[in-house]
Structure 1
Amino acid sequence: MLEEIIIPNTITVHLGRPDSPAENLTVDFLYYVKNVASSEIFPTWPYEALKANIWAQMSLVLNRVYTEWYRGRGYPFDITNSTAYDQAFVKGRVIYDTISEVADEVIGQFLQKPYYREPFYAEYCDGRIASCPGLKQWGTLDLANRGNSAIEIIRYYYGESMQLHDTDNVQDITPSYPGYPIRLGAQGQYVFIIQELLNGIAVNYPNIPLIYPPDAIFGSLTESAVITFQKQFNLAADGIVGPATWNQISRIYVAVRKLAELGSLGRLEGYFTGLFTGKVLRRGDVGIEVQQLQYFLSIVADAYPSIPAVQVDSRFGSGLERSIKAFQQEFGIPSDGLVGAVTWNLIYETYAALIQNA
């Protein structure tokens, strides 16, 4: 999985289903977008319908690139032209002028959910022959003819919170793996990434020990988490993150967080920085946000006897709810056991002050 959203200079398309013995064709990315749009929608459609469809098409392929969906599985390509898996692409096809003009205008623009780092997996279908829970291409024609703008069409299908972003970060696609194994004693960004992803995976695989706080230092706890992960997924359990382990960590994280699905749980923006993710947490919730909340509050509870101790286990149970209510009472805010922006920010600010003064 990449660390930034890029617009690739070129993209390699497999002209068939993933495991078929088909040609791999490397083409200019802008040409790829124009080809897909010319293969899937009609050039006579209204401008707003064309734009909405191209945004969805571009977001889907950028999600494939970001998640290294095929490269991380060892395939020598970035996407297929099988509509059962990806989107249509026809070798040598004619590109329509109206579609080309819209693609030139919107290249670099993509859809993204608030607080999520990955391009949105904008699932879509034609809406006539095939049905799906996402955008319906023929439906976009009807909505545009009713006077809806492209962003209104997008939000009709994907929700009012959907955001449009753009980037001028154009570069070649390079693997996320750093090119050398990471092991006990290592420090830096790649170690932090390993810790982040393993903590996310541990929500679904609680036998993997949580690494708190994630500190970019490959210590014994990180090594233990790596070994447990390797055993869980039948890899050589040596505690070293080589290419096989790196790619498997990335693949499993993408799977458990559903990053390549319409209902993505998201790779959270500002992981472990104290940034409120916009989600109100409550009893019954499970996830990375709960992990972070528990850790911040556990440090606060150590300093305030009125707040019950907190266990970091990714699950918002009755014990955490009691600790939240005690914190809210201690700091004079409504004691409802819910963690919205006010409670979250106050917990983090208190934690940060304690750490700074330690």
Structure 2
Amino acid sequence: MPDRPPVVIPETITVHLGPPDAPAENITVPFAEYIKNVASSEIYPTWPEEAIRANIYAQISYALNRVFTEWYRSQGYDFDITNSTRYDQSFVAGRDIFENISTLVDELFNDYLTRGNAVEPLFAQYCNGTTVTCPGGLSQWGTVPLAEQGLSAEEIVRSFYGNDINIIRNAPIAPNLGGSWPGTVFRLGDVSEDVRTIQNRLNRISTNFPTIPKIYPADGIYDADTERAVRAFQQQFNLTPDGIAGKATWYRLAFLFNTVKRLSELDSEGLTLEDISRQFPETLREGASGPGVQLLQYFLAVAGEYYDQLPRWQAAGIDGIFGPQTRAAAAAYQRMLGLPETGVVDRTTWNALVSTYRSILAAQPTQGWLEEVAGLPDIFLVEGMRGDAVRQAQMLINIIARGYPQVPTVTVDGIFGPATRDAAAVIQSLAGLPPTGAIGPLTWEDMAQLARNVLGASQTAEGQYPGYPVGEEANA
């Protein structure tokens, strides 16, 4: 099954019963019930059916745009939309719903409008068309004569918004999780799809605010370039300039990204599928393959060494193919933590597994850095980082370089600069990994194995080496 599509219909929507800054009640209602209330509050049940349908399409798309762009939540509010007609749509808590409108909404509530190649729900601005007019938007009363002329709802919608309007039908329904922030503070060394989201948003915002440097490539690796761009963004918008992306930075990014792309305007720049394509799967399940699965298996294997409830792994099982063994191990891990036992690794399971992996490494006694996989750094090493873990990686690189001429030697200074990044990328290419230059668990594994091969091939007798030191003194 594919990952969740970019737009889903929320099961519920939270409405603020007043203008955004007013001290008013928030109520959460099923999304379909919200649309029924709005339609019953704004249009007449005696209108022609195609006119009612056209208005419902606009009302659904308007509300979905507010949810999708997190228009209010990205500004620090705890609701999705208001009931103030100055800002949003009319919603009257507890009002009666017209029967024919209820029936139509039940049919249409998971259909919405988009424009051209854009994937976000259209910000379907509209007005009543009598006391208030809105150029470029839909006139509610204006839909009536068009319906009486025999136009369909689709034709009515396009007559107002343009011929490049699409109607997306039968969108999937999913829980409204109350905001996109994943609950994680992102910093140097983190690797995830959420980091890639941060990078993509920074790159687009920097087009309007050129003091923010571009990040290339936007690969989901929180490296020194990403840290610099985050810090510049924070300085530009009066946040603490620490280069760490927490909740405040995440939502400020979301708000500015929506603003510069005009996602909540009729003339939106638009989001394309390419804009929101995922480098890292949102879920891993049986049938998947690749480095992401291999990393999952590695984490499960390490956890299996320390928890009796989990199965033990053989090295051959870490093959990058999500088969029955991987599914069973994932399900066992979920059972151990009290998570839904699906065998499918979603965002919650993945984050928990990474946390378990880091906890195991933190509890590990110090062991030989070359002989043991456990005890290696618990985060990805990326350009801009410093410390003993970087020094260990540089020592490994230089050992590998003795046996593989294509691998350049590096200075063992504990500073992860461009030379270390480029050498790591060459090693990754040798090992069949994506040549990102970031050193994560799989790269550590392969570096250790390649170094063992070089040392083993250079031995002249048991315990005898060809005259160069192996240890912390090793250097290029």
Q: Deviations over 1:306-350 (max 9, x none)?
A: xxxxxxxxxxxxxxxxxxxxxxxxxxxxxxxxxxxxxxxxxxxxx
Structure-1 residue corresponding to 2:159? 156
SS at match of 1:77: coil
Q: Note if 1:269 corresponds to 2:273.
A: yes
Structure-1 residue corresponding to 2:117? 115
Structure-2 residue corresponding to 1:305? none
Structure-1 residue corresponding to 2:23? 21
SS at match of 1:138: coil
8 Å CA contact retained: 2:73, 2:251: no
Q: Note if 1:192 corresponds to 2:164.
A: no
8 Å CA contact retained: 2:57, 2:112: yes
User: Partner letter of residue 156 of structure 1?
Assistant: S
SS at match of 2:14: strand
Q: Note if 1:139 corresponds to 2:142.
A: yes
Q: Deviations over 1:58-84 (max 9, x none)?
A: 000001011111122222211111111
Q: 1:53 to 1:272 in 2, by over 3 A?
A: closer
8 Å CA contact retained: 2:215, 2:226: yes
Which aligned pairs between 1:201-216 and structure 2 lie closer than 5 A?
A: 201-216=205-220
- Equivalences, count: 274
Q: CA deviation at 1:3?
A: 8.1
Q: Deviations over 1:81-140 (max 9, x none)?
A: 111100000111110011111101111000012322211100000010111120000001
Q: Note if 1:87 corresponds to 2:54.
A: no
Q: Distance in 1 between matches of 2:183 and 2:172?
A: 26
8 Å CA contact retained: 1:4, 1:66: no
SS at match of 1:12: strand
- Aligned with 2:174 (options 170, 176, 197): 170
What is the identity percentage for the equivalent residue pairs of Structure 1 and Structure 2? 51
Two-structure CA RMSD over aligned residues (Å): 1.8
In structure 2, the gaps of 5 or more residues are 278-433, 435-476
In structure 1, the gaps of 5 or more residues are 274-355
Q: Distance in 2 between matches of 1:35 and 1:221?
A: 48
SS at match of 2:202: helix
User: Partner letter of residue 13 of structure 2?
Assistant: I
Structure-1 residue corresponding to 2:260? 256
Q: Which of structures 1 and 2 has the bigger CA Rg?
A: 2
Q: CA deviation at 1:231?
A: 0.3
- Aligned with 2:32 (options 26, 30, 35): 30
Q: Distance in 1 between matches of 2:6 and 2:252?
A: 19
Q: Deviations over 1:244-288 (max 9, x none)?
A: 000000000000100011110012221287xxxxxxxxxxxxxxx
Q: Deviations over 1:204-256 (max 9, x none)?
A: 11111111221111111111111110000000001100000000000000001
SS at match of 2:141: helix
Q: CA deviation at 1:172?
A: 2.5
8 Å CA contact retained: 2:11, 2:173: no
Q: Distance in 2 between matches of 1:161 and 1:245?
A: 35
Q: Note if 1:240 corresponds to 2:244.
A: yes
SS at match of 2:167: strand
8 Å CA contact retained: 2:188, 2:227: yes
Q: Distance in 2 between matches of 1:271 and 1:48?
A: 34
User: Partner letter of residue 172 of structure 1?
Assistant: N
Q: Distance in 2 between matches of 1:267 and 1:234?
A: 27
Q: Distance in 1 between matches of 2:77 and 2:263?
A: 19
Structure-1 residue corresponding to 2:44? 42
Structure-2 residue corresponding to 1:227? 231
Q: Distance in 2 between matches of 1:3 and 1:194?
A: 19
Q: Distance in 2 between matches of 1:104 and 1:236?
A: 47
8 Å CA contact retained: 2:7, 2:120: yes
Structure-2 residue corresponding to 1:98? 100
Q: Distance in 2 between matches of 1:112 and 1:126?
A: 22
SS at match of 1:202: helix
TM-score by length of 1: 0.74
Q: Deviations over 1:157-195 (max 9, x none)?
A: 111011010312332333211101011111120111011
Q: 1:220 to 1:209 in 2, by over 3 A?
A: same
Structure-1 residue corresponding to 2:336? none
User: Partner letter of residue 137 of structure 1?
Assistant: Q
Structure-2 residue corresponding to 1:334? none
Q: CA deviation at 1:196?
A: 0.8
Structure-1 residue corresponding to 2:395? none
Q: 1:117 to 1:272 in 2, by over 3 A?
A: closer
8 Å CA contact retained: 2:75, 2:251: yes
Q: Note if 1:217 corresponds to 2:221.
A: yes
Q: Note if 1:5 corresponds to 2:17.
A: no
Segments ≥4 residues shifted beyond 3 Å = none
Which structure has more relative contact order (CA 8 Å, sep 6+)? It is 1
